């Protein structure tokens, strides 16, 4: 009885909608990687956890939509852990942008969520600011001349040593999974989160993948997992994690790859005339201060 009352309270004012309704709302209002209909649908299917979709309306007009796993937003780490599926896939600490109409204000959100974007501060009620912040990549103009010079210099030295760059799209999901998991293990000394089914994840999300891989002496030396989605009013990129061959650190391939990926995404966003929200995840490492500005995030 108590659980039913809590569910009624949580869902009060929201009405259940279809997956197609949710996808339409996302296409109209935008969102981020972790709320994209493809990511939600395919990863929920992989986890064997059903999704319920809810919409908030003003009259007949849909103003907001959410995907839910029970009392949490879909793709929640807490739900995966509770179901014995911790680390099934890795989306890092992704910025959560829900499909909410630009004019919406004061919509109550009662489903548990973390890393809710600062874009929702006025639109959603019941959210509170987290202690953690997200690290969002600086625009190219925000990097100092010295920083840009150093990145170009490192790229030139790598190229002179025979380094080459290949787009992620040139590899099959299985091939890229093998490259990434091997480089991650070399760099950190332990397996990447979700390594056992990484190829399956990349197969499901291949339409969202972006970025490049750096090769030296014919072998991969740096790779990063990046997902990109485009909304009507912005582009969202999530940098999940990366792997580097530690024996090639003298050429700074990880830094070079970050520069190539950030530069490419900013140039693409400017070509399309949209802001870029390129997230390095939680602001928890010193190096992110060089690459990013900090953004507040919220939770329920």
Rounded to an integer, what distance in angstroms lies between the CA atom of residue 71 and that of residue 173? 32
Q: In what order do the strands lie in the sheet with 52-58?
A: 14-17, 52-58, 61-69, 72-73
DSSP 191: P
| Long-range CB contacts (within 8 A, 24+) of 53-61 | 53/16, 53/17, 53/18, 53/19, 53/21, 53/22, 54/11, 54/14, 54/15, 54/16, 54/17, 55/14, 55/15, 55/16, 55/17, 55/21, 55/22, 55/25, 56/13, 56/14, 56/104, 56/107, 57/15
Rg (CA), the chain: 20
pTM of the complete model: 0.94
CATH 3.40.630.30 in the chain is located at: 136-295
Number of Cβ within 10 Å of residue 270's Cβ equals 13
According to CATH, the topology of domain 136-295 is Aminopeptidase (3.40.630)
Q: Which two tokens stand for residue 66?
A: 């959410």
Show the low-confidence residues of the chain (pLDDT under 50).
Answer: none
Q: Please report the pLDDT score of residue 247 as a whole number.
A: 85
Rounded to an integer, what distance in angstroms lies between the CA atom of residue 134 and that of residue 232? 22
Burial class (CB in 10 A: 0-12, 13-18, 19+), 203: middle
Provide the 3-class DSSP secondary structure of residue 49: coil
For the chain, what's the residue count? Answer: 300
Provide the 3-class DSSP secondary structure of residue 230: strand
The HSE-up count of residue 178 (CA atoms within 13 Å, CB side) is 5
Q: Please report the pLDDT score of residue 30 as a whole number.
A: 97
Q: Which two tokens stand for residue 293?
A: 């500005």
Q: Please report the pLDDT score of residue 248 as a whole number.
A: 81
Q: Please report the pLDDT score of residue 249 as a whole number.
A: 74
pLDDT digits (tens, 9 = 90+) for 187-232: 999 999 999 999 999 999 999 999 999 999 899 999 999 999 999 9
């Amino acid at each position: 009885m108590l659980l039913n009352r809590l569910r009624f309270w949580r869902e009060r004012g929201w009405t259940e909608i279809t997956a197609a309704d949710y996808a339409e709302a996302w296409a109209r209002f935008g969102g981020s990687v972790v709320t994209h209909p493809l990511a939600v649908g395919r990863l929920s299917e992989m986890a064997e956890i059903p999704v319920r979709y809810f919409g908030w309306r003003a009259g007949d007009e849909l103003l907001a939509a959410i995907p839910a796993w029970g009392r949490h937003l879909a793709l929640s780490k807490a739900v995966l852990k509770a179901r014995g599926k911790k680390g099934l896939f890795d989306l890092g600490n992704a910025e959560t942008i829900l499909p909410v109409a630009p004019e919406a204000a004061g919509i109550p959100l009662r489903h548990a969520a973390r890393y809710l974007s600062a874009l929702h501060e006025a639109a959603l009620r019941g959210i509170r600011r987290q202690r953690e912040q997200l690290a969002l990549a600086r625009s190219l103009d925000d990097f100092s001349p010295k920083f840009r010079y150093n990145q170009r210099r490192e790229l030139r030295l790598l190229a002179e040593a025979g380094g080459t760059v290949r787009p992620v799209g040139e590899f099959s999901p299985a091939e890229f999974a093998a490259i990434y998991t091997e480089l991650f293990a070399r760099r950190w000394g332990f397996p990447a989160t979700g390594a056992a089914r990484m190829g399956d994840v990349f197969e499901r999300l291949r339409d969202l993948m972006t970025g490049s891989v750096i090769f030296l002496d014919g072998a991969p030396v740096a790779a990063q997992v990046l997902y990109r989605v485009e909304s009507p009013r912005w582009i969202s990129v999530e940098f999940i994690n990366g792997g580097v061959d530690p024996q090639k650190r003298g050429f700074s391939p990880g830094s070079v790859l970050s520069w190539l990926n950030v530069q490419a995404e900013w140039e693409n966003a400017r070509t399309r005339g949209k802001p870029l929200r390129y997230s390095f995840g939680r602001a928890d490492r010193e190096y992110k201060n060089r690459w990013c500005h900090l953004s507040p995030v919220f939770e329920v």
